Each structure stands twice: as structure tokens, then as C-alpha cells.
């Protein structure tokens, strides 16, 4: 039996119990099983959640790129590390082997050094989904520089804030990017941001769209000629286990974004271990995560987790709707994808389109399907299961956060069962707890509470960049001696977890605690509904009342709206209870979403409570224009 690779339910329980009984021994065995350590640790874990301070594999020495690349060169240098699929299907895909990746990363690392980057310096990476993005991150890790990737859909304002907060010395960007049938002037956006970033000395520019851009003398350099000239040998910097690996910003419910700081050894062990188990990756499989590397999902499950297992990982430059809604499935057929990992929002939007887009393609290579990022509603789960997995692929509903570094609660395919809308069981090594409002742990099953984690795990963020107090206040101050996730969850009668949504989405109506996800599920099950969001607004009698924003499918648009409202209310009464019926239901053409596809409930809450003067910054939304429409038609 191996702690590192769990194959059946009995093993799961055995390993799980051990991980709770003897966490240090459990993780030590995981860390011993793979990986190249330059020096062994003195101590597996030490922690104090009151400070908070957490250290894993203390005094161990390593380089993560040695583990993600060099380790495979001797026997498997020709194995494909990255399959890059371009935006335009008529352009050729690229297959980059482990030895080619090694050369690319070494050259890039030497370019960084020649341009003054040293261990500990921060480098801002603002690139589209092109191979240079992966190489840039790994090149930083090779020399001990700290990467801060900013999603290439963010505005110049957002880019400047993040670049300055991390005090980046260098920015790596491109002449532009392709997104469906559009091109985006990335360099223009970067230039605008850089006006406000005096700390950035050098800008390296990758060529992607051959745009005629301005290069600022003394600051901007084309990347390719530098790579061509650089040596392809770069000895990896030996890093301490707790040296910073990267910063990644995540938006808080208030204030400026938080730069979550992840460190080297724990993150590596955790992403490698979770990837192996949750996707049941076997050698020669082809794995595809559709996220953008600009989010944590891409960091952990396009790049580090797969490469640390010697996997073949797909990097897709484009969007699911281009050239048509069959693109994902076309790619699955083309590269014979075995594991496919995406977001519920993508599933819902593709489920709305004609089934011809799916049926045209051979999806028989698929073995495991995954989702991440938000609760998946029952209807979307079944569509995914029926149409994509053809009822033969387990769906891993993976719950985790930027802060957790890797997946925390999820089924393990072929080992533990799945249940629609449930993330199910904690991975061995993860100790969840549900807490009540008075700070007491809620034991037993068939209970609901705030989701916390009792014991540290190697992948957890260690701090908020240069703001340790905020780290403490946000995650460790609500409940004593616990990491607080900010999410609510329930545990069913068999002990499976279902994430009910952010706790700030919990609405108390007439004294009843309602999570928004189950109400939205009920609404979404109506055949005329495409998507919905429910928020609370102040109500004289009930304390709070519910306001539903509903997007209709084409088939619903011509229907009588009053009848639809009645039917939706009926459905909610049946599925959740009459208490959960919204006071108001507004039909909308879209919902305000973040670039990663999350509904911005904060904005909807303000509209619902007729408090639209101060909506905050809406410029980072995917679809800011929809906000005006919703305000205009609000009830």
C-alpha cells in the first residue's frame, strides 16, 4: 500500500485514519516516495495557528524544476511534457518533450539572470496561454525568483496594483494575444500599467500576434533573440523548503487583492500528491485542465502537479466557443484526452448549446472528469455525466482555494464514490471541521456549518505578501486554532461534504439559514432556465428576503413571465421549501461575472437592496455592460 497512490475504498479509509492519527508520519512517507531532495528535512511539520506560522519539511533543500523536469530526463526525455493547442484550430499544436522543456527553461532562466534577476526577486508575468508562460514560471523557479502571474484578461489598473504590491523588478508580457476571433493588445495594456510601476526595470516581450507595438528604449526587450543566444544549461538554485515559490493574487470581499504566498517544498509535495490521486493519472495518459494558468487551478493542475508526476499536460490558448461550441470536444478527440478538468460555468454554457456539438466527436478516450471553482448544480452535473462521460467516467467535484494550494475535498476516482453536487470526502491528510456561530465544532453527520481545517497541510499559503496581519485576520481570527475557509458546508448522513457556497452568501430569512446554492439548483432545474443567482436584501418582516436573477434559455424567452415566476417558485417550494421562495425574480440577459467565471454577488446584492450609487470597481468584470441592464430593469 502506498500513501501516495490510493486505489480503493479500504485503502482510502486506512490511509485517512493514519493521516489523522500520525500526520507527520503520513506526510513524511508521501514526501519520501518520490522527488529529488538535495537535503532531507529535520522536521516534517511545525505549526502555530495563533501566530500563524506553519513550516513543512524544515531545512530540506530542493529545486522544484529539478523535480518537474530534470528527474525525467534520463529515462523519459522524449516523453511529451506539454501539448500546446492554439486558439486557431488550423494552426499546428506543439508537442514539447521533457528534454525540450528543459532547454527552454534553462535558456529562459539564463535570460532572467542576464537581466539582473536574482534569487528572491519578484517577476510579474502577464502572458497569454502560450508555452512561454509555462517556461517563464519554471525559469523563475529554477533560479529562485518569485513569480507573480497576473491573468492576461486583467485591466491595466489591476495589473499595476499587483505589480506594485509585489514590488516586481521585471515584467514578462507579449505583443498581444488571440482570444476567439479577437486579438488583445496586451502590450498596450502593460504599457499603461507600467506608467504607474516605477520599480519595473526590464520588460521582456514574447512575440505572438506579430503586432506592430512600441518598444520602450532601455526597458523593453524582445524575448526570442535573447533566448536564441542564451546557454541551455542553468544549474538549479538550491532552495530551502520554506523559500517563497510564487505569489498569486486573489480578491478579498473587501479591499485590495491579497497576494497569497506559497512556498516551495510543501506546495510541490501537495500538488503532486493530489494530482496523482484525484486524476488517477497513469503513465502515457493525456491530461487536460481548461483553466488559465493565471489562476491557481492552472498553477497547480496545468503546471506543477502534472509535471511533478512526469505527466503530459495540455495547455489551451483559446476559448470554449471558438470557432464553435464544439471546440472542447474536438480537442478531446484530437489529443485523446484521458482526464478532463473544467469549471461548472463552462459546463453550463456548453450544456445550453445543441447536442450536435458533442455528438460529432469521439470522446471514448475520457476516463475521469473534474470540476472546480464553484458548486456544481445537479442539472449541470448530470449533463456532464451523461453527455461527456457517457456515464462511465467518475466526476471529481474538487473543492479547494487559492489559499489551499491544492485540492482538499474530492472523490478519488475508482476508489471512493461520487455523489452529484457533493465534493464528498477529504483527502487523506486533510482534516475538515464544521463550526457553529459560537465557535464550537459541530460533530456527527447530517449537520451544516462553517467549513474550517483543523490541521495544517503542506500546500497551504503561508502568508499574505507583506501583510501577515491580514493573513491572520482573514483566515485564523474567526475560529480559534482553525483555518477558516470562508465557505459553508454540510455533511450528509454518510459523512460526505457538500459545499453550500461562501458564508457571506448565506442568507438568514425569517431565522432560517439558507445557502444560495441549493435554491439556485432548484431554479436551474426548471427547463426554461439557463442560469441563476440568488442574493439577499433587507426585508422589514423577514429580516432578509431573497432576490433571484434568472437567465432564460432561448426556449424560455417567449414564455409568459408571470407563469414562469409561478413555476420557478413552485419548484423551489418543492426542492428546498416555501421559505426559500424569492420575493422577487428578475429575468436578465447575463450575470456580472469575474474573469474566472464567478458570479459577483456583491454587485447583485447592492442592486437588490437598491443601493446602486456605490457599486465599487466593476472594470475587472467579464461583462461590465450587463450591470446597467440589470439596474434598469430591477424590481
Q: Summarize as ranges the residues that interact with ligand WTA (CB under 6 A).
A: 250, 296-297, 372-375, 397-402, 423, 485-487, 499, 502, 596
In the complex, the smallest distance separating the C-beta of residue 498 from ligand WTA, rounded to whole angstroms, is 8
Under 8 Å between Cβ of 204 and 170: yes
In the complex, the smallest distance separating the C-beta of residue 163 from ligand WTA, rounded to whole angstroms, is 20
Specify the residue, 275 or 399, whose C-beta has the smaller distance to ligand WTA. 399
Cis peptide before 323 (omega within 30 of 0): yes
In the complex, the smallest distance separating the C-beta of residue 544 from ligand WTA, rounded to whole angstroms, is 20
In the complex, the smallest distance separating the C-beta of residue 526 from ligand WTA, rounded to whole angstroms, is 22
Specify the residue, 307 or 372, whose C-beta has the smaller distance to ligand WTA. 372
**Cell representation of residue 106:** 534553462
Specify the residue, 135 or 293, whose C-beta has the smaller distance to ligand WTA. 293
Specify the residue, 153 or 326, whose C-beta has the smaller distance to ligand WTA. 153
Using the structure block, give the residue that is written with the C-alpha cell 489562476. 295
Provide the H-helix boundaries in 69-221.
73-76, 98-114, 131-143, 156-165, 186-194
- Distance CA(549)–CA(531), nearest Å, equals 9
In the complex, the smallest distance separating the C-beta of residue 24 from ligand WTA, rounded to whole angstroms, is 26
In the complex, the smallest distance separating the C-beta of residue 605 from ligand WTA, rounded to whole angstroms, is 16
Specify the residue, 31 or 506, whose C-beta has the smaller distance to ligand WTA. 506
- CA 525, distance to chain mean position in Å, is 26
- Distance CA(23)–CA(303), nearest Å, equals 27
Specify the residue, 145 or 430, whose C-beta has the smaller distance to ligand WTA. 430
In the complex, the smallest distance separating the C-beta of residue 372 from ligand WTA, rounded to whole angstroms, is 5
In the complex, the smallest distance separating the C-beta of residue 374 from ligand WTA, rounded to whole angstroms, is 5
Q: Which residues pair with 85 in a beta bridge?
A: 316
Handedness of CA 413, 276, 89, 185 (dihedral sign): positive
Please state whether beta strands 543-552 and 529-539 pair in parallel, antiparallel, or not at all (unpaired): antiparallel
Specify the residue, 168 or 372, whose C-beta has the smaller distance to ligand WTA. 372
CA triple 143-146-152, angle to 5 deg: 120
Burial class (CB in 10 A: 0-12, 13-18, 19+), 318: buried
- Distance CA(46)–CA(82), nearest Å, equals 36
Using the structure block, give the residue that is written with the C-alpha cell 542576464. 114
Specify the residue, 486 or 548, whose C-beta has the smaller distance to ligand WTA. 486
Specify the residue, 152 or 239, whose C-beta has the smaller distance to ligand WTA. 152
The 8 Å CB, 24+ separation contacts for 49-52 are 49/456, 49/476, 49/481, 49/482, 49/483, 50/476, 50/480, 50/481, 51/472, 52/471, 52/472, 52/475, 52/476
Specify the residue, 399 or 587, whose C-beta has the smaller distance to ligand WTA. 399
In the complex, the smallest distance separating the C-beta of residue 465 from ligand WTA, rounded to whole angstroms, is 15
In the complex, the smallest distance separating the C-beta of residue 351 from ligand WTA, rounded to whole angstroms, is 17
Specify the residue, 84 or 295, whose C-beta has the smaller distance to ligand WTA. 295
In the complex, the smallest distance separating the C-beta of residue 43 from ligand WTA, rounded to whole angstroms, is 29
In the complex, the smallest distance separating the C-beta of residue 61 from ligand WTA, rounded to whole angstroms, is 29
Provide the H-helix boundaries in 414-558.
468-475, 516-524, 554-557
Specify the residue, 12 or 399, whose C-beta has the smaller distance to ligand WTA. 399
In the complex, the smallest distance separating the C-beta of residue 312 from ligand WTA, rounded to whole angstroms, is 22
Specify the residue, 113 or 299, whose C-beta has the smaller distance to ligand WTA. 299
Cis peptide before 52 (omega within 30 of 0): yes
DSSP 310: T
- Distance CA(346)–CA(141), nearest Å, equals 31
- Distance CA(21)–CA(131), nearest Å, equals 43
Under 8 Å between Cβ of 423 and 383: no
- Distance CA(418)–CA(381), nearest Å, equals 11
In the complex, the smallest distance separating the C-beta of residue 499 from ligand WTA, rounded to whole angstroms, is 4
Under 8 Å between Cβ of 445 and 227: no
Name 602's Cβ contacts closer than 8 Å, sequence gap at least 6. 253, 616
Specify the residue, 194 or 407, whose C-beta has the smaller distance to ligand WTA. 407
Determine the number of helices (DSSP H) and then strands (DSSP E) in the chain. Answer: 22, 30
Amino acid at each position: 500500500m502506498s500513501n501516495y497512490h490510493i486505489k480503493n475504498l479500504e485503502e482510502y479509509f486506512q490511509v485517512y485514519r493514519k493521516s489523522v492519527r500520525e500526520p507527520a508520519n503520513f506526510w513524511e512517507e508521501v514526501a519520501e516516495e518520490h522527488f529529488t531532495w538535495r537535503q532531507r528535512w529535520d522536521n516534517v511539520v511545525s505549526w502555530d495557528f495563533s501566530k500563524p506560522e506553519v513550516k513543512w519539511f524544515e531545512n530540506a533543500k530542493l529545486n522544484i524544476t529539478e523535480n518537474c523536469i530534470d528527474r525525467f530526463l534520463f529515462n523519459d526525455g522524449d516523453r511529451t511534457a506539454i501539448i500546446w493547442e492554439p486558439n486557431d484550430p488550423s494552426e499546428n499544436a506543439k508537442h514539447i518533450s521533457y528534454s525540450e522543456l528543459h532547454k527552454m527553461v534553462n535558456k529562459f532562466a539564463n535570460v532572467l539572470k542576464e537581466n539582473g534577476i536574482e534569487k528572491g526577486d519578484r517577476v510579474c508575468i502577464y502572458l497569454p496561454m502560450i508555452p512561454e508562460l509555462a517556461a517563464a514560471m519554471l525559469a523563475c523557479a529554477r533560479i529562485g525568483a518569485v513569480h507573480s502571474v497576473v491573468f492576461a484578461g486583467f485591466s491595466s489598473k489591476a495589473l499595476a496594483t499587483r505589480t506594485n504590491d509585489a514590488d516586481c523588478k521585471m515584467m514578462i508580457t507579449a505583443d498581444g494575444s488571440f482570444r476567439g476571433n479577437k486579438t488583445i493588445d496586451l502590450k498596450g495594456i502593460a504599457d499603461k500599467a507600467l506608467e504607474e510601476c516605477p520599480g519595473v526595470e526590464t520588460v521582456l516581450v514574447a512575440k505572438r500576434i506579430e503586432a506592430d507595438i512600441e518598444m520602450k528604449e532601455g526597458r523593453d526587450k524582445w524575448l526570442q533573440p535573447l533566448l536564441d543566444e542564451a546557454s541551455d544549461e542553468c544549474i538549479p538554485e538550491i532552495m530551502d523548503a520554506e523559500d517563497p515559490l510564487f505569489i498569486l493574487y486573489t480578491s478579498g470581499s473587501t479591499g485590495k487583492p491579497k497576494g497569497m504566498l506559497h512556498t516551495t517544498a510543501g506546495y510541490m509535495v501537495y500538488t503532486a500528491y493530489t494530482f496523482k490521486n484525484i486524476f488517477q493519472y497513469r503513465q502515457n495518459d493525456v491530461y487536460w485542465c481548461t483553466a488559465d494558468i493565471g489562476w491557481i487551478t492552472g498553477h497547480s493542475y496545468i503546471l506543477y502537479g502534472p509535471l511533478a508526476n512526469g505527466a503530459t499536460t495540455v495547455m489551451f490558448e483559446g476559448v470554449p466557443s471558438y470557432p464553435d461550441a464544439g471546440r472542447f470536444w474536438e480537442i478531446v478527440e484530437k489529443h485523446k484526452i484521458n482526464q478532463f478538468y473544467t469549471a461548472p460555468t463552462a459546463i453550463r454554457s456548453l450544456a445550453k448549446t445543441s447536442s450536435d456539438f458533442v455528438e460529432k466527436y469521439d470522446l471514448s478516450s475520457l476516463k475521469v472528469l473534474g470540476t472546480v471553482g464553484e458548486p456544481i448544480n445537479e442539472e449541470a452535473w448530470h449533463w456532464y455525466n451523461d453527455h461527456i462521460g457517457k456515464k462511465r467516467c467518475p466526476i471529481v467535484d474538487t473543492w479547494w482555494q487559492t489559499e489551499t494550494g491544492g485540492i482538499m475535498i474530492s472523490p478519488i476516482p475508482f476508489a471512493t464514490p461520487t455523489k452529484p453536487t457533493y465534493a464528498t470526502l477529504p483527502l487523506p491528510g486533510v482534516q475538515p471541521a464544521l463550526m457553529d456561530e459560537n465557535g464550537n465544532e459541530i460533530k456527527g453527520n447530517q449537520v451544516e456549518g462553517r467549513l474550517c481545517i483543523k490541521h495544517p497541510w503542506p500546500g497551504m499559503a503561508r502568508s499574505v505578501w507583506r501583510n501577515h496581519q491580514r493573513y491572520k485576520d482573514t483566515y485564523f481570527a474567526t475560529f480559534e486554532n482553525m483555518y477558516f475557509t470562508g465557505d459553508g458546508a454540510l455533511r450528509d448522513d454518510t459523512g460526505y461534504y457538500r459545499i453550500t457556497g461562501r458564508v457571506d452568501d448565506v442568507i438568514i430569512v425569517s431565522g432560517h439559514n439558507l445557502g444560495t446554492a441549493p435554491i439556485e439548483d432548484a431554479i436551474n432545474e426548471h427547463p426554461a432556465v439557463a442560469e441563476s443567482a440568488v442574493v439577499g436584501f433587507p426585508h422589514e418582516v423577514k429580516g432578509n428576503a431573497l432576490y433571484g436573477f434568472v437567465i432564460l434559455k432561448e426556449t424560455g424567452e417567449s414564455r409568459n413571465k408571470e407563469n414562469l415566476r409561478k413555476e420557478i417558485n413552485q419548484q423551489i417550494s418543492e426542492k428546498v421549501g416555501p421559505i426559500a421562495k424569492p420575493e422577487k425574480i428578475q429575468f436578465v440577459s447575463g450575470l456580472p461575472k469575474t474573469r474566472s467565471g464567478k458570479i459577483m454577488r456583491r454587485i447583485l446584492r447592492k442592486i437588490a437592496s437598491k443601493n446602486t450609487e456605490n457599486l465599487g470597481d466593476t472594470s475587472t468584470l467579464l461583462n461590465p455592460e450587463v450591470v446597467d441592464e440589470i439596474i434598469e430593469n430591477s424590481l
